[in-house]
Amino acid sequence: MLTVSRNHRVTQLAPDMAPVAGVEPGETFRVETAWPRGIGMRSLADPRPPRRLAITGPIAVRGAHPGDALRVTIHDIALPSWGKVWTAPWLGVLKDAELYERRLDIAGGRVDFAPGLSLPVRPMVGFVGVAPGSGSVECLAPGEHGGNMDCLTIGAGATVVLPVRVDDALLAIGDVHATMGEGEVIGISLEVGAEVTAAVEVARGAAPPCPMVETAAHVAVLITEPEFAAASERAVRTMAELLAARRRLAFADAYALVGLAGDLRICQNINPFGLTLRLEVSREVWGAA
Amino acid sequence: MLTVSRNHRVTQLAPDMAPVAGVEPGETFRVETAWPRGIGMRSLADPRPPRRLAITGPIAVRGAHPGDALRVTIHDIALPSWGKVWTAPWLGVLKDAELYERRLDIAGGRVDFAPGLSLPVRPMVGFVGVAPGSGSVECLAPGEHGGNMDCLTIGAGATVVLPVRVDDALLAIGDVHATMGEGEVIGISLEVGAEVTAAVEVARGAAPPCPMVETAAHVAVLITEPEFAAASERAVRTMAELLAARRRLAFADAYALVGLAGDLRICQNINPFGLTLRLEVSREVWGAA
């Protein structure tokens, strides 16, 4: 099986990057994701460090063209035996947070947080993204290209659907969390270097209107905007338009349906490029194709 | 069993209101909630109607005093055979929404939405609140008194914990939804007149720092603020303070724990008085008392 080394990492994605590997639709491959760096020895008097996110890739997906949908299915997330969590006043929702860093052990599907207090793992992939059509995007950013969405439901079994913008898509995968709370309120999670097993499919001309996530239970749109109200509005409108088309409903009915059956959830609310909301409906509401 | 009629309804709560009924701690009682009015025959050219919410009460809780915690456990929500859903441009996240109203049948635990498309019921109580210590609050508003929080997890089996502000608490209950999506993005849900069976307990001097919800699986704080960022910050700080005290953790550890194990969720994001966020942790993380 092709394994893409964690030594092949980027902090930006751009259309003209040279791929470090290539995969065919249907091929199963493995991606090693970067080890967490943490904040290390530092005091609040030190200069604030630049924020970068190192992601493995880019990987060429043979036969993917602009206008296609790239479907990335996560088959497995192999966690290591430890992860790092840290806090800083420039990272999370508390602007007076302490500088803090801990290494936590992971064993038997549990994270050892404190004596008598362990947490179940919730392995997920924080970053699944493709190159933009022009310019470049920081790997730290979530957006229309997918990227650093920090969506808890992107775990084993989930399929991320992204609009392809350039030939070969230029896929990158990284930022694995061993466990996290929804909303990622401290700005990071239990960050690990992991091995992600995935496969891709290309759906010709089927680019979605925004990044989406499909799981056994739900189908969701993922919307990133600088402000909560704009993200909420666009998530609702996008899902209502999709449901109107799929279920042959008037838009007014589809909007009411989103109100009754769509769960608006927070993927993350601390990214400097904007917050990411997920609006999800059950498979039953989404309906068969 | 005491039944409080839906004819006893208020649109505001204030400290000097005369109670319409009284209950003792431990007593099980029933509350009929108001039938939905809908928007009726109306055009966008008509004056925009005043927004009011009619809630059943107030109910005196004998022996409750300022500084106590009022624990309201919902034992059962008996749904009727129909509900109403409606949309309007002044209600939900889409400011260009149509005027729209439908009556939907409810039978066998399902809501009949369209041919081949039914939804499971998710019965919940949108409003559980007490009188403020001074002034008055609109029943439409969520806030420190509880009120119109539209929290999906306030269903059968849940306990709402509120800070008592006046003698006898002056409890009110209403705004039952037969089903809803989290976030209540259209501004209402499947609104019904229902029969809520509940019981109250009073915990002396144990007023929580904000409204809380306890279920079999989770313990949550409920925070209402005009803006998302402020709500998120206060929810995280409040939960971290509670966990630091309960689990004997340094605040920095408790903050990290909230990041790893606290799910920040949206109860509603369309109320003119502010949005309501729920930050919840598992019973395992919350720990035994």
Residues sharing a CB contact under 8 Å with residue A220, sequence separation 6 or more, in sequence order: A151, A153, A212, A213, A214, A278, A279, A280, A281
Q: Output phi, psi for B72, to 5 deg.
A: -110, 110
DSSP state at residue A114 = E
Whole-number Å distance between alpha carbons of A145 and A13: 10
User: Does B287 contact A249 at a Cβ distance shorter than 8 Å?
Assistant: no
Residue B111 tokens, joined: 């809501």
Q: Is B241 exposed, middle or buried (0-12, 13-18, 19+ CB in 10 A)?
A: middle
List CB contacts of B53: < 8 A, sequence separation 6 or more: B11, B127, B138, B139, B140, B148, B174, B175
The terminus-to-terminus CA distance of chain A in angstroms comes to: 32
Chain B residue with CA closest to A93: the answer is B233
A213 bridge partner residues? A160, A220
Residue B177 pairs with which residues in a beta bridge? B124, B191
Chain A residue numbers touching B117 (CB-CB < 8 A): 247, 257, 285, 287
Beta bridge partners of B174: B127
Nearest-by-Cβ selection for A261 from B119, B258, B259: B119
Total count of domains within chain A: 1
Given A93, A181, A261, which is nearest B263 (Cβ)? A181
Tokens (6 digits) for B285: 């993380």
Q: What is the pLDDT along chain A (289 residues), one digit of tens a residue?
A: 999 999 999 999 999 999 999 999 999 999 999 999 888 777 888 878 788 999 999 999 999 999 999 999 999 999 999 999 999 999 999 999 999 999 999 999 999 999 999 999 999 999 999 999 999 999 999 999 999 999 999 999 999 999 999 999 999 999 999 999 999 999 999 999 999 999 999 999 999 999 999 999 999 999 999 999 999 999 999 999 999 999 999 999 999 999 999 999 999 999 999 999 999 999 999 998 6
Residue A107's Cβ-side half-sphere holds a number of Cα atoms within 13 Å equal to 4
- Whether A285 is in a domain gets the answer no
Residue A247 Cα to chain centre, angstroms: 28
* B186 Cα to chain A: minimum distance (Å): 5
Pairing of strands B275-282, B218-225: antiparallel
Q: What is the ipTM of this complex?
A: 0.97
Structure tokens at A1: 């099986």
Task: Please give the backbone phi and psi of residue B128, each rounded to the nearest 5 degrees, phi first.
Answer: -135, 115
Inter-residue contact A184 to A132 (CB < 8 Å): no
Shortest alpha-carbon distance between residue B27 and chain A (Å): 33
Q: What is the pLDDT at residue B46?
A: 82
d(CA B162, CA A182): 25
Q: What are phi and psi of B136, to 5 degrees?
A: -145, 160
Residues of chain B with pLDDT under 50: none
Please check whether residue B263 lies inside any domain of the structure.
no
Do A236 and B189 lie within an 8 Å CB cutoff?
Answer: no
φ, ψ (nearest 5 deg) of residue A31: -125, 125
**CATH code for the domain of A25:** 2.60.120.580
C-alpha angle A176/A179/A180, rounded to 5°?
Answer: 95
Name the closest residue on chain B to residue A190, using Cα atoms: B260
8 Å CB contact between A49 and A148: no
**Residues of chain B contacting residue A113, judged by C-beta atoms under 8 Å apart:** 257, 260-261
How many of the other CB atoms lie within 10 Å of CB of B283? 13
This model's pTM is above 0.95: yes
Q: Name the residue facing A255 among B97, B113, B258 (closest C-beta).
A: B97
Report yes or no on B243 lying in a domain: no
Interface test with A, best of B112, B182, B184, B185 (most A CBs within 10 A): B185
Q: Minimal Cα–Cα distance from B166 to chain A, Å? A: 33
Residue B259: φ, ψ to 5°: -65, -35
CA distance A242 to A220: 11
CA end-to-end span of chain B, whole Å?
32
- Indicate the SS3 state at residue B147: strand
Task: Give a yes or no: residue A229 inside a domain.
Answer: no
Joined together, the tokens standing for residue B107 give 């039978």
CB B279, CB B219: distance < 8 Å: no
Range of the domain at B165: 2-209
Residue B220 included in any domain: no
Of A98, A253, A258, the CB nearest to B252: A98
d(CA B142, CA B158): 18
